[in-house]
């Protein structure tokens, strides 16, 4: 056999060994990410739905208020109330969503900064 072919086999063997050694660690990391994602999903989903509903209300009331002819204090007041409600919903949702992403980002950073396996 040629030295090139033996070198190729050695390199391939090292690559396969690296994958075999790294696979369990990757599986643990993926499992943790999935577990954290599943754990935070209901809270994030609730907050996103709340934001969407509040946003739809803003779009509806502001749209009606802006298309009405002339000044209409009732419609304008409803539009302002809808915007205020959206801001309240956002202020509640933001910390929940931020915490969820922070949890997942911490998982990723801890794995990225982990020491590489010794070859």
Over the stretch 43-72, which tens digit does the pLDDT of each residue have? 888 999 999 999 999 999 998 888 888 788
- Is residue 44 in a domain? yes
- Is residue 106 in a domain? yes
Answer whether 0.75 is exceeded by the pTM. no
- Is residue 9 in a domain? no
- Is residue 6 in a domain? no
Average pLDDT, the chain: 82
| Short-list 13, 1, 92, 101, CA closest to 49 | 92
- Is residue 67 in a domain? yes
Q: Which residues contact 59 (CB under 8 A, 6 or more apart)?
A: none
Instruction: Answer whether residue 102 shows pLDDT above 80.
Output: yes
Q: Which residue has the higher pLDDT, 96 or 30?
A: 96
- Is residue 97 in a domain? yes
Instruction: Answer whether residue 19 shows pLDDT above 80.
Output: no
Range of the domain at 67: 27-112
> Total domain count for the chain?
1
pLDDT of residue 1: 55
- Is residue 71 in a domain? yes
Q: Determine the Cα–Cα distance for residues 52 and 86; give it in Å rounded to an integer.
A: 9
- Is residue 117 in a domain? no
């Amino acid at each position: 056999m040629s030295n090139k072919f033996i070198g190729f086999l050695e390199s391939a063997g090292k690559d396969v060994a690296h994958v075999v050694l790294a696979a369990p660690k990757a599986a643990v990391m993926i499992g943790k990410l999935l577990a954290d994602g599943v754990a935070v999903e209901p809270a994030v989903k609730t907050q996103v739905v709340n934001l969407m509903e509040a946003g739809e209300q803003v779009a509806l009331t502001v749209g009606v208020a802006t298309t009405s002819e002339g000044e209409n204090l009732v419609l304008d007041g409803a539009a302002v109330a809808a915007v205020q409600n959206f801001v309240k919903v956002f202020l509640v949702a933001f910390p929940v969503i931020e915490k969820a992403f922070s949890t997942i980002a911490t998982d990723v950073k801890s794995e990225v900064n982990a020491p590489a396996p010794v070859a």
